[in-house]
Chain A
């Protein structure tokens, strides 16, 4: 039963974790809007979430080698670091900076709303579960 509870919350928990990390990446981009030679980065949320949910290996991730059937399949904690990609600049900049502040701010706001959405979903799941438990 507890396992089920965990499974129910797992999707949004993983999504929240990734939104949280994406927010940080976007914040770094906005903070470095005036830094020469800084390259804006982001990650593909969909593939990162699919990988997090499916327990798939992140590109460049490591797993334990198993030599006997009883061995546990350990895998390195999924890190969004390996999903990070450089943004393609729409317009080049003389100082080598590729941050488009407007695009980054839009992405930052969008990500914040998505984060809130996930929070709301988790909240309502908890509420509905409480309703079931309390009757």
Chain B
């Protein structure tokens, strides 16, 4: 019964999307964190999705291949009063692009929703299959 496998496929996708949502939350929360535990400004993090086989029937789920640090350049703001400013008066701020993160958030939640709907449809189909001939 391949229908049961859809729960694994949708489950893996929901897991991956929620991890993406988690990094978005972390990025947005730290959009202005000019310093962190290791003394450097926060760097935006992005999840990398990879297709992963689920079961033996050729179904493909989603796997988080890794969380990478955004390679885009850091923001610099001229603020000589800030204690974190360098000798020229510039403060390095995280490379979080708030607009991009909001888009990321909406995309992740929409994908999560479609996977939930997929599970619901599959559940209905399975329940109908169970009541076959009644």
Annotate A15-44 by CB proximity to B: 1 below 8 A, 0 otherwise.
000001101110110111111101000000
A127 within 8 A of B: yes
The answer to whether A109 and B121 touch across the interface, beta carbons within 8 angstroms, is: yes
Q: How far is the CA of A40 from the CA of B116 in the complex (A)?
A: 20
- Closest A residue to B57 by beta carbon equals A24
Give the chain B neighbours of A126 by CB distance below 8 A: 132-133
Number of A-B contacts (CB under 8 A): 95
Q: In which size bucket is the chain B interface?
A: 35 or more
Q: How far is the CA of A105 from the CA of B54 in the complex (A)?
A: 20
Given A21-B2, A115-B125, A123-B132, decide whether A28 and B114 contact each other with a Cβ distance below 8 A. Answer: no
Give the chain B neighbours of A38 by CB distance below 8 A: 51, 60
Task: Choose among B9, B51, B128 the residue that contacts A119 (Cβ–Cβ < 8 A).
Answer: B128
Q: How far is the CA of A34 from the CA of B122 in the complex (A)?
A: 21
On A, residues with C-beta under 8 Å from B are: 20-21, 23-25, 27-28, 30-36, 38, 80-81, 84, 101, 105, 108-109, 112, 115-116, 119, 122-123, 126-127
The answer to whether A24 and B128 touch across the interface, beta carbons within 8 angstroms, is: no
B26 within 8 A of A: no
B102 within 8 A of A: no
Q: How far is the CA of A84 from the CA of B58 in the complex (A)?
A: 10
B118 within 8 A of A: yes
The answer to whether A108 and B121 touch across the interface, beta carbons within 8 angstroms, is: yes
The answer to whether A28 and B133 touch across the interface, beta carbons within 8 angstroms, is: no
Give the chain A neighbours of B111 by CB distance below 8 A: 33-34
Task: Choose among A23, A35, A101, A116 the residue that contacts B62 (Cβ–Cβ < 8 A).
Answer: A35
Cβ of A82 to closest chain B Cβ, rounded Å: 10
Cβ of A42 to closest chain B Cβ, rounded Å: 12
Q: How far is the CA of A81 from the CA of B54 in the complex (A)?
A: 14
Q: List 11 A-B contacts (CB under 8 A).
A: A21-B2, A24-B2, A24-B5, A28-B9, A31-B10, A32-B60, A34-B62, A34-B111, A36-B48, A112-B121, A123-B133
